[in-house]
A and B are shown apart, each in its own frame.
Chain A
Amino acid sequence: MFDVVSIRNDFPILKRKINGKPLVYLDNAATTQKPKQVIDALVSYYENHNANIHRGIHTLAEEATAMYEEAREKIAKFIGARSSKEIVFVRNSTEAINLVAYSWGRTFLNRGDEIILSESEHHSNLVPWQILSSEKGLKLRFVGVDENGYLEIPKLEKLINKRTKLIAIVHVSNVLGTINPVEKIGKMLHKKGVRFLVDGAQSVPRMPIKVVELNCDFLVASSHKMLGPTGVGFLYAKEELLKEMPPFLGGGDMIKAVYLDHSKWNDIPYKFEAGTPDIAGSIGFGKAIDYLTSLGMENVFMHEKKLTDYALRKLLEIRDVTLYGPEDTASKTGVISFNIKGIHPHDVAQSLDREGIAVRSGFHCAMPLHQKLKLSATCRASFYIYNTFEEIDKLIIGIDKLRTFFSKS
């Protein structure tokens, strides 16, 4: 059941006024707001169950462990993993990609091996590979994107050779909203023995996703971009990969036995979870997944599609507005980047803030894409389950108002 009015009632922050105006939160690609179900889960955990996990025998420790592991089960089910052993809790998507680079990359990649990335990657799926390639003497190759952010798939096929070991691609661009055909890439790679990492930071929150259909070896996402708390994310990796990968961080909980000169690693996924994790955050993440599951990811996707369609149509009517990325929602979702002629994105964002409207301005952590498209910076409006058509109307009115303001001399 998808009812925006009742959804909005679940989000306490949406009652806030910003500069005297009701908050219109359109910065969801950066982070989403949290429903009271998630906030309550954090409070309830600390008030009733707080203990460290995987060690104690006492009641609280057993409860905390069960709740933490239940959250892992929920994630596994949500993305269609074969088992919860394939889910590693991390801080965020960035840490998940770093885990793959440091653990899998350092162990299995050698001088001269090649990694293919796209030009529209978020810095989190670029910088870790730059660090690894300078350490190991790897070659990074890039599949281009056209002006709408579409991957040049025929060129991607040509980039693949016998030295290619990994392709790491963003599923949904955090700048253009373009949905990349990752299923197609997965199918293409399946026979070639190239590992495939999908950055799901923007797609897992807004689309139904099954890792089996994506044919990917690794999938990463962050809790805070899908109603959950900050500080938690997950790495999905195929069980056989996790088994052969060495630990990422060393410490407590990731070991079976420790001697002065060596240690024996714990089973997966615990081998990758050194130290006390964000237990409350993980449980909150599980609640966020419950919330999205009860709405239905198909409905979440359709709601955003309708909002995006409406916003694109309205923005295209405004003179002096330039849109970046696809102008229809056939392969775009939830994220619209734009500029207004003659007005710097910072001034656009600041002026909209006076109207209570939160949009992002800048490079959105994707500087190479902006360079490719020859953009200095852009404004970005991104939607989620609680946004309404009326809020998009407010955005349009806000843009009209600021255009008038900055054009008068």
Chain B
Amino acid sequence: MDNIYREVILDHYKNPRNFGKMQKANASYEEHNPLCGDKIIIQVKLNKNDPGLSNLSNKSAFIRQNRTISDIRFSGEGCAISVASASMLTEFVTGKSIKDVAKITTKDILNMLGIKLTPTRLKCALLPLEILQKTLTLVK
């Protein structure tokens, strides 16, 4: 019917990966998109700090930046674009460091989805990334 609803998007929408809630997350964050009423919650679990690094003094920021995502879950409700984007994003960032996730851009998300979006729908696609990046700022 439509290029933006290509098969891979519909697949992630109907069978979202990493969907649900986890116990004992290191950080979680919830955001609403007031335009369309989407609500997405992202929870992350991170690998422990490298013990060798944590012995170094005054390196806490460095250590934090290099912690990697060991597990991630998203829940809530959204349109096909925001759900597919969240689902694909969770797969994409598993194993990545906080530093790496902070570097993900709009272009990366569009490449990941493989579709062109109007400015309004772009907000749907970017909502999961915004929430994930906020979630990671909450990691102590």
Contacts and interface: CB of A to CB of B under 8 A. Distances in A.
Given A346-B79, A409-B14, A377 B5 contact: no
A350 interface: yes
Interface stretch (A229-237, A283-291, A361-369): A361-369
Contacts of B124: 346
A136 B82 CA distance: 42
Contact of A362 (B4, B35, B77, B81): B35
Contacts of A362: 35-37
A344 interface: yes
Contact of A361 (B34, B36, B81): B36
Given A402-B1, A409-B14, A344 B34 contact: no
Interface of A is mostly: helix
For chain A, which range describes its interface: under 10, 10 to 19, 20 to 34, or 35 or more residues?
A: 20 to 34
A351 interface: yes
A361 B80 CA distance: 14
A354 B118 CA distance: 13
A345 B121 CA distance: 12
A147 interface: no
Given A362-B36, A370-B37, A377-B36, A344 B4 contact: no
B1 A346 contact: no
A344 B36 contact: yes
Contact of A346 (B2, B10, B34, B81): B81
Contact of B1 (A345, A367, A370, A401): A401
Interface in A362-405: 362-363, 367, 370, 375-377, 401-402, 405
A367 B34 contact: yes
Given A344-B78, A350-B121, A405 B36 contact: no
B39 interface: yes
A157 interface: no
B37 A345 contact: yes
A180 B4 CA distance: 41
A363 B34 contact: yes
Nearest to B76: A376
A347 interface: yes
B1 A363 contact: no
B16 to A, nearest CB: 13
A347 B80 contact: yes
16 contacts: A344-B79, A345-B79, A346-B79, A346-B121, A350-B2, A351-B2, A362-B36, A370-B37, A375-B37, A376-B37, A376-B39, A401-B1, A402-B1, A405-B1, A405-B5, A406-B10
